[in-house]
Amino acid sequence: MADIAPVPASTPVVDEVAGLARLAGALVDQLTIPVRDTHRAVADRVFRAVGPSATPVRLAHDAVAGAVYASVRGGSRLLGAGAGTAIAAVNGFRPRRSVSATPLGATGLAFASGLLGDWLEGRADDLVVPTTVTHHGRAVSLEGDVPLGVDAPTDRVVVFVHGLAETTYSWAWWSTAEDGTHVPTYGERLAEVGWTPLEVGYNTGRPVADSGADLAELLDRVVATWPVPVAEVALVGHSMGGLVISAAAHRGLASGHAWVSRTSHVVTLGTPHTGSWLAKGAAGAVRALERLPETRGLGGIIDLRSAGIRDLTHGWRPEPDPEAPDDEIEELAALLPHARHAYVAATLGSERHALSRLLGDGLVHLTSSTAPGSAGGPNIAVRHHPNVGHIRLVHHQAVADDLVDWLEPRVD
């Protein structure tokens, strides 16, 4: 067997296949808890109904059930960890990103990240989605003195920030028409009018504040190392991405980052500024299920949802307060008053259609995605696209036309 060069201790080796094995074991361990608690609650109710005469049976039942559940939890942890180590060993403990190397695999990991991104840390670190930057879908490195992988950089940089459980590939969805012709992405359309597009990928299961802080630092790095002086920065966020941009603006202002004063345009697409009805429903379901011991376990399963999903319940605020009214949001127009702002919403039908009133664009109501623009102003635009779903906002011809129109050069 060929010698394998040792990997420095400070450099984690990512093996996504081994990570999947560890994830399977960790999930069985975690999901056993609500099953155990539900079993225990139902049994307790039955034994209480029978009365003291059931005490010997109850003691035997509890001992056997406790031992079984402990064995399942411990065994799943050991099997998952052991299988992960064995799979990594067969591969020579070398890096392996065979899952995220394809758009479909990357989307699968992003989905897991959106659901459990913060929970994965420490349990299946190989599957934790790292922060990445791409240019027209190609990887960009910001490690050196200048960014690597950017073609003909201009002095106008537009940064796209995707939403929950999405990836940088998401901006290219629907880029192939039914007749097989290519439909330009938002980045490609804006490149035609002088913007250099960058797409940022991140772990959407982490708290929005943490993702925003990382984005702020990344933007600071971009401006500091860009090959030409940056005159303008535009930020475009889909869904959760708009909240991450808000958090980044807050951090950038506090840190005195140069990119803040150069931000000329901000566009949010279907962003739940006052929360998503689906996230609110999940939070309400957990509260309702926790009222009874028999259903508390099911509530525990729902409650595994990531910190990122929890942040979609009320929208992002500098100091989240679950009891604060939904209209107390951090307005991007107030954080970045010198920039032009656009709030784009979609609905499944017309604005007054019953389906639109009930579900909005499928995930976010019209009033939530346009909330910061309700006061109006000379630098604020609000756009509503009927008969368009939430995900479709990542690539829609009418939205692309709006972006080209809105992101015209600033002349101050």
Segment 226-239, tens digit of pLDDT: 999 999 999 999 99
Rounded Cα distance between 279 and 195, Å, is: 35
pLDDT of residue 323: 56
* pLDDT of the residue at 6: 39
pLDDT digits (tens, 9 = 90+) for 168-208: 999 999 998 888 899 999 999 999 999 999 999 999 999 99
CATH (residue range 130-278+307-406):
3.40.50.1820
The structural domains of the chain, with segments of one domain joined by +, span 16-110, 130-278+307-406
The secondary structure of residue 176, as a DSSP letter, is: B
Strand ranges of the sheet holding 380-385, from the earlier edge strand across to the other edge: 138-139, 132-135, 196-201, 156-161, 232-238, 263-269, 340-346, 380-385
Residue of 168, 151, 158, 235 lying closest to 195 (CA atoms): 158
Residues of the chain with pLDDT under 70: 1-11, 319-333, 409-412
- What's CA 189's distance to the chain center, in Å? 25
Q: What is the pLDDT of residue 7?
A: 36
Q: What is the pLDDT of residue 331?
A: 64
Whole-model pTM?
0.87
Instruction: Give me the pLDDT at residue 3, please.
Output: 36
* DSSP of 86-148: HHHHHTTT--B-TTTTSHHHHHHHHHHHHHHHHHHTTT-GGGSPPPEEEETTEE-B-SSSS-B
- pLDDT for the residue 246: 94
